[in-house]
């Protein structure tokens, strides 16, 4: 539309030189593109301008020229409304051009939603994106956030950079006049890994079902969550940290301002995420900065409401920043800002890379999220929430020791000390054969299930918005042989070991491809017809919820769906080849964790 405004300005200047009334005509019709020829005729008659127009050829020529340029302007504007006509949209910062996928979905990859957080903007709240000239190609994923490499993460982004604040949009809307529901997905990865390009998070399948889908990047690890007294002093609100979460807010604000250009409805935005993406969802439900930016929420396997110290008080978080400053031999924050990103990452890796966590900074988080939920002051929106049947494998408890009753008892005593007997009573294992199941259940509850359950419990108590809880119980088929054989000998060995652990279980994050309809995108697994049927079912529930705040409704390709009850007294939906509505039989294990004091 910038071209159109330039035409308007030039024409206004021309008409001003030949008389005020003709100048008025230019402004009326150039700034109201809904004008049509009948309206123009009536205006000329009412203003007694017809005699003036035909008084001499010069006036007639100028008027004809103006109508021609108006036509160009209208054509330009209407083409932008028809998304697939130009594959271009005008957004904050400028114009972008997407690409049509083989399945007829329009995708925009690598759209900047904030300025590059580099140099003096490292450890600053996200700033608006810098405008660009011309049309920006949005056909490739942006660099992923700076992070340690990890065999478990597969990326489609080609490089890593501190300049990482980008998002991706998929839409099948034919016009930006449509008002389709929007789903913004926040990736997991312990706040130290991941990005929006991962194949599991692809948005094409959701877009084909009428959802405008958005995946985002945000700052991770030390770049996204470090606090320091100097940073708190310069922030203007007396706190620091949470930059990664504020990035997410900036992305949601961008969606609010721009998603209509992609055929999305800014008033029908659902946020969702898995693992720390779900923790982020719980944070946005209590943060004052996120109010009014979404109308529903999905949390897969996680929340910040936990007996583990997932949220730090500001003084503890700042102490970690001081520690890093000393370790890096930096005299100030400015010295730390001058350290190249990859060098800083290596310095952080010499300690616990997960030590930088969300913090009660007095700005994004006013208090511990649990307190806000306990008081019923969270954002009251419909919530779809759940976890998987075997989130965490038994081996995480044993630290490479043999899985047997002796080591099981010793590990429980090491972690729970005087409470160990209570744990062993809740998770009994009389034989070595029992240990694998009991220890897997214990670690799943400790690391994932309890915090997700507590999130559901507290939100359900406010009763003004429905909660729908699930248990994903479909066994995963494991890696296919082609994938296992790829790579060097060490990688092949690791993948064989991994495959033994995951095959036949519903492990952490295994539901994502099913929920988003991305089995075909993830071609490294041994999918079978039953997996696609489960995916179609689970995706149907998610799409219905995104559209209506209720997972019940029509199934994709008219597949039948079991009625999903609201979560009131332990009701949940078990999702498998044959899904069923069930009721939880006892919650003693969760109540045990609820009564524990917070630990790291």
b or e along 101-115 (b: 16 or more beta carbons within 10 Å of the residue's beta carbon)? beeebbbbbbbbbbb
Going 588 to 591 to 596 to 598, the CA torsion angle's sign is positive
With H, G, I as helix, E, B as strand and everything else as coil, classify residue 360: strand
In the DSSP assignment, the letter for residue 130 is: P
508 is catalytic: yes
- Is 361:242 a contact under the CB 8 Å cutoff? yes
Q: What CA dihedral angle connects 285, 303, 389 and 482, to 10 degrees? A: 100
Catalytic residue among 107, 275, 301, 540: 275
Catalytic residue among 162, 391, 457, 511: 391
193 is catalytic: no
Structure tokens, 486: 């790829």
Strand pairing of 106-112 and 264-274? unpaired
With H, G, I as helix, E, B as strand and everything else as coil, classify residue 212: strand
Secondary structure E strands in 347-486 = 359-360, 383-388, 467-472
End-to-end CA, the chain = 53
300 is catalytic: no
Residue 88 backbone phi and psi in degrees, to 5: -120, 145
Residue 92 backbone phi and psi in degrees, to 5: -55, 120
- Is 483:421 a contact under the CB 8 Å cutoff? no
Among residues 242, 249, 217, 248, the alpha carbon closest in space to that of 321 is found at 242
Catalytic residue among 301, 506, 508, 579: 508
In the DSSP assignment, the letter for residue 445 is: I
Residues annotated as catalytic (active site), given as ranges: 275, 391, 508
């Amino acid at each position: 539309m910038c071209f159109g405004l330039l035409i308007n300005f030039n024409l206004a200047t021309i008409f001003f030189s030949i008389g005020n009334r003709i100048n008025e005509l230019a402004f009326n019709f150039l700034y109201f593109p809904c004008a049509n020829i009948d309206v123009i005729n009536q205006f000329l008659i009412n203003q007694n301008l017809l005699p003036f127009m035909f008084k001499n050829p010069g006036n007639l020529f100028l008027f004809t020229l103006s109508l021609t340029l108006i036509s160009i302007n209208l054509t330009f504007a209407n083409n932008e409304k028809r998304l697939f006509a130009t594959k271009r949209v005008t957004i904050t910062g400028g114009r972008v051009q997407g690409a049509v996928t083989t399945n007829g979905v329009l995708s925009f990859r690598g759209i900047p939603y904030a300025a590059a957080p580099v140099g003096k903007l490292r450890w600053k709240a996200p700033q608006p994106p810098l405008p660009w000239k011309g049309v920006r190609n949005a056909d490739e994923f942006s660099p992923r956030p700076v992070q340690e490499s990890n065999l478990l993460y597969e990326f489609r982004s080609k490089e890593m950079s501190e300049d990482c604040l980008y998002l991706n949009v998929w839409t099948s809307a034919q016009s930006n006049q449509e008002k389709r529901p929007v789903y913004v997905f926040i990736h997991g990865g312990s706040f130290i890994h991941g990005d929006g390009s991962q194949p599991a998070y692809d948005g094409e399948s959701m877009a084909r079902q009428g959802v405008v889908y958005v995946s985002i990047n945000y700052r991770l690890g030390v770049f996204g969550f470090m606090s320091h007294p100097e940073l708190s002093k310069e922030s203007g609100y007396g706190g620091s940290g949470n930059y990664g979460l504020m990035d997410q807010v900036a992305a949601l604000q961008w969606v609010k301002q721009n998603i209509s250009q992609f055929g999305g409805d800014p008033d029908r935005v659902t946020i969702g995420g898995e693992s720390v993406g779900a923790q982020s969802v719980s944070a946005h439900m209590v943060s004052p900065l996120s109010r009014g930016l979404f109308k529903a929420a999905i949390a897969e396997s996680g929340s910040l409401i936990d007996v583990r110290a997932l949220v730090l008080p500001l003084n503890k978080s700042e102490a970690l920043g001081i520690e890093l400053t000393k370790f890096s031999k930096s005299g100030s924050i400015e010295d730390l800002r001058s350290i190249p990103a990859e060098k800083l990452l290596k310095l952080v890796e010499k300690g616990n890379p997960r030590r930088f966590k969300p913090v009660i900074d007095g700005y994004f988080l006013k208090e511990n999220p649990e307190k806000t939920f306990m008081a019923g002051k969270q954002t009251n929106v419909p919530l779809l929430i759940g976890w998987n049947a075997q989130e965490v494998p038994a081996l995480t408890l044993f630290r490479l020791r043999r899985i047997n009753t002796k080591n099981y008892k010793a590990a429980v005593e090491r972690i729970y000390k005087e409470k160990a007997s209570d744990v062993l009573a809740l998770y009994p294992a009389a034989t070595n054969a029992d240990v694998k199941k009991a220890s897997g259940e214990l670690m799943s509850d400790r690391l994932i299930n309890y915090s997700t359950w507590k999130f559901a419990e507290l939100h359900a108590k406010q009763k003004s918005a429905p909660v729908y809880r699930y248990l994903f119980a479909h066994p995963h088929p494991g890696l296919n042989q082609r994938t296992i054989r790829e790579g060097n000998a060490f990688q092949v060995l690791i993948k064989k070991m991994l495959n033994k652990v995951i095959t036949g279980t519903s492990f952490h994050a295994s539901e994502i491809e099913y929920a988003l309809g991305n089995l075909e995108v993830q071609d490294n697994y041994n999918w079978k017809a039953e997996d696609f049927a489960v995916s179609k079912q689970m995706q149907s529930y998610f799409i219905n919820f995104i559209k209506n705040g209720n997972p019940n409704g029509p199934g994709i390709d008219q597949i039948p769906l079991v009625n999903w009850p609201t979560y009131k007294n332990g009701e949940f939906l078990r999702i498998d080849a044959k899904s069923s509505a069930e009721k939880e039989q006892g919650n003693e294990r969760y109540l045990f964790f609820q009564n524990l004091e917070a630990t790291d």
